[in-house]
Amino acid sequence: MVQKVHADAEAALAGLLFDGMTVMAGGFGLCGIPENLIAAMRLAGVRDLTVISNNCGIDGFGLGILLESGQIKKMISSYVGENKLFEKLYLSGELELEFNPQGTLAERIRAGGAGIPAFFTKTGVGTLVSEGKEIRNFDGDDYVMERGLVADLSIIKAWKGDTEGNLIYRKTARNFNPMMATAGKACVVEVEHLVESGQLDPDHIHTPGIYVDRIIAGARFEKRIERVTTRPRDTAPGKEAV
Amino acid sequence: MAWTREDMAARAALELQDGFYVNLGIGIPTLVANYIPDGMSVTLQSENGMLGMGPFPFEGEADADLINAGKQTITELAQSSYFSSSDSFAMIRGGHINLSILGGMQVAENGDLANWMVPGKMVKGMGGAMDLVAGVRRVVVVMDHCEKTGAPKVLKRCNLPLTGAGVVDLLITDLGVFEIDRKVGGMRLTALATGVSLDEITAKTEAEFVVAL
């Protein structure tokens, strides 16, 4: 019988890693990142990675630790402004970078996972993003063709998961995780709470287990926050900057 | 004399309507949330996957799983919902968001916007800005009228790489307000900031505009 549950991050990645591979990593900023699996990739020492992720962590945490160890060859991202080391490596030519508009990146991944090789979007028409790409007019407006994206491996963070690989995300930690789970040739998931099948309400599943090959209960979740913004208790709600 | 950041945010808030779904960018646009009129229902979208953004949490109650697109900790409201990034940009690209208010580096008289890249400097990325200006029904840009050096930012044509071509409907600066016809091009000056003369704004604007005060 197929056993999706693995003992730890190292075991869950065993046999799936190779130099030069393409990896999708869920998360927005540090929110909803597979921090245990990223740490295991660092230990595994796999190199020349092309990493598809909205951001690249920060110095010393998240995908930033794979930058430090020189394991990343190329990033496909929408925003990388939080990372000094990224800037240094990029400006010195040690790191390749492909920017995608955030919505185009999300849709490329969704399309890749859904068996759609390309689609047309208005986003980026008339900008650097559309240079060299096919433009087609539909109903009077120009659209640029973007390709679906797939990866050798997707690493995903969910809140709850069951032994069948059914997943539930929590709040804005969902972000890119559901699409990326569909677009990796192999999909490995870490969850905060791993339960037996039957424990999750089937109506509440965000990612059905068909997309998930391996799942672990994460050993440790630091869940670092990039910008803690708070208000004093005596403020009236609804009247502060969000 | 000119408008302050708060004045510009208050002016931008006049673009809000009851029932609107709105995406606010980082910087001055974020301040617009403080000027939503009492009794008006406005739902704020955060492109990382949330509708119904609430205020910052109380001290000690920040949740690492609940942030806005600026990566700041926030809270949820009774009407909030969460969704994936692809659903979020389906809302944006599909024209379901009524209004996007965002910052700018340059705006041109044809409605072009540049706000993501200065060649030769470190490039941080466009994030969701290109999708927002391409898909949201009405796009309002809030920015300083000139560079700190005094160089104009309201131009005949942008010289920085574009975020979108022909995408801006309304431009609010510290010196005044311009409506832009994004289909055929052309700017109309519809308001002057407090204490700003027509001569001053004309001198500091490279773009051609019609005066419609």
> H/E element holding A233?
none
B147 is known as an active-site residue: no
Q: Report pLDDT digits (tens) over B8-62.
A: 999 999 999 999 999 999 989 999 999 999 999 999 999 999 999 999 999 999 9
Closest to A127 (Cβ–Cβ): which among B53, B71, B162?
Answer: B162
Q: Is the pLDDT higher at B121 or at A238?
A: B121
ipTM associated with this complex: 0.96
- Residue A60's pLDDT is 92
Instruction: Note whether A240 contacts B34, CB cutoff 8 Å.
Output: yes
Which of A129, A146, A222, A229 would best serve as a mutation to test chain B binding (most B beta carbons within 10 A)?
A: A229
Q: Which residue of the set B6, B15, B47, B109 is catalytic? A: B47
Q: What percent of chain B has pLDDT over 70?
A: 100
Side-chain half-sphere of B122: how many Cα atoms within 13 Å?
15
**Chains A & B: contacts with CB separation below 8 Å:** 210
SS3 (DSSP) at A18: coil
Which of left, alpha, beta for A48 (phi over 0: left; psi -120 to 50: alpha)? left
> Phi/psi of residue B50, each to 5°?
-150, 140
Q: Report pLDDT digits (tens) over B84-120.
A: 999 999 999 999 999 999 999 999 999 999 999 998 8
Q: Which residues of chain A, if any, have pLDDT below 50?
A: 239-242
- Residue B123's pLDDT is 80
Mean pLDDT of B116-134: 91
- Residue A83's pLDDT is 84
Q: What is the pTM of this model?
A: 0.96
Instruction: Note whether B56 contacts A241, CB cutoff 8 Å.
Output: yes
Distances (CA, A) of A144 to A36, A90, A104, A177: 37, 27, 10, 25
- Residue A241's pLDDT is 46
- Residue A218's pLDDT is 97
Q: Is the pLDDT higher at A2 or at B7?
A: B7
Distances (CA, A) of A222 to A35, A39, A82, A192, A225: 8, 12, 18, 11, 9
- What is the C-alpha separation between A20 and A50, in angstroms, rounded? 7
Using CA atoms of A148, A150, A155, A156 in order, give the dihedral in degrees to the nearest 10: 30
Q: How far is A100 from chain B (nearest CA, A)?
A: 8
Percent of chain B that is helix, strand, coil (3-state, to 5): 20, 30, 55
Closest to B65 (Cβ–Cβ): which among A124, A129, A173?
Answer: A173
Chain A residues with CB under 8 Å of B52 CB are none
> Phi/psi of residue A180, each to 5°?
-65, -30
- What is the C-alpha separation between B55 and B34, in angstroms, rounded? 10
> Phi/psi of residue A72, each to 5°?
-100, 125
Q: How far is A176 from chain B (nearest CA, A)?
A: 5
- Residue A235's pLDDT is 59
> H/E element holding A24?
strand A22-25
Q: How far is B148 from chain A (nearest CA, A)?
A: 22
Sheet order of strands, B113-114 included: B113-114, B106-108, B154-155
Question: pLDDT at residue B1 above 90?
Answer: no
Closest to B125 (Cβ–Cβ): which among A79, A122, A233?
Answer: A79
